[in-house]
Structure 1
């Protein structure tokens, strides 16, 4: 009887049926690959294949969130407020590679910041209202006329590298040598340049 029950449970568990043939490369720092797995139950599961990163810490964080969610559900006031911590699947495949479940229908914070930076770049490139520009206004037919949108990582390093040099650090390839106080200063400068209601405007 127990053997039959175990067999039925294993049959109910979906497994990998196939991978879709196309892979999307996300334009973030480590260029993770978005791939789709078709399970035996016919459902599609999207994952990010991340390299050059140890995902064991991410896996531990997800385990912590699962425990936190269980504790919230066992606490009546928290359960009545429908409080929970939603984890997602993290599968380390090696010391420097692994899979992370891609959460559909969400907008990454990186994307929100980049969209704001793009709008700001084009807005700053426009002449002030009521003043006509003496030069020919940029058009799409003029090569190089449109302002170049700086990537967030480039903007970060444009502030970080001079700050490191001011502190006598010339070997910038070793991140372990970057002083915490310099990093903190750069982050605070970037925070001052970014609207405090950036996220609120996107949500409401």
Structure 2
């Protein structure tokens, strides 16, 4: 395993940094892929994963690929870009025989409120544009797995908090307000539970699959 390359797509985001941290703790060879940011201390490749050739170049020679990309939080962007990005990553993994770990969210489950306890067997009938976009993206990957194009697994997380997770609504409206001495705010119904995941824990989920 020490000679294998572990490539993290979207390595500068909260999940990408958490995954990179865990990989480095285990003295594994890490390659970071980012569109604009050059990270210190590890090999970094700048690539736009919406371009197939760049995705293939970024992933070549990889043994494991961690898809941790976070696209801009806009419905039209998700609808336009997620399927193309996933297809390019699948194609690149197929060409290099890399195993793919996709860090997904739970937007595809629905309709809300979700049942308690909540499992991956829950119905997937999303009612939002973002939810539909993520379901279509996950279904594309599941189809590629079923067709034996690649080996892959999907890990799904609820909204997360923790180190580097400064763009989440929970941080902006709740934790950041507390740090400023202001009243924390949360959107939601008081009688419906909401689960949050710690970004550091998310970064460890992949280890059990290797």
User: What TM-score, normalized to structure 1?
Assistant: 0.26
Larger RCO of the pair (alpha carbons < 8 Å, separation 6+): 2
> Which one has the bigger helix percentage?
1
TM-score in terms of structure 2 length = 0.26
Query: Which structure's CA Rg is the greater one?
Result: 1
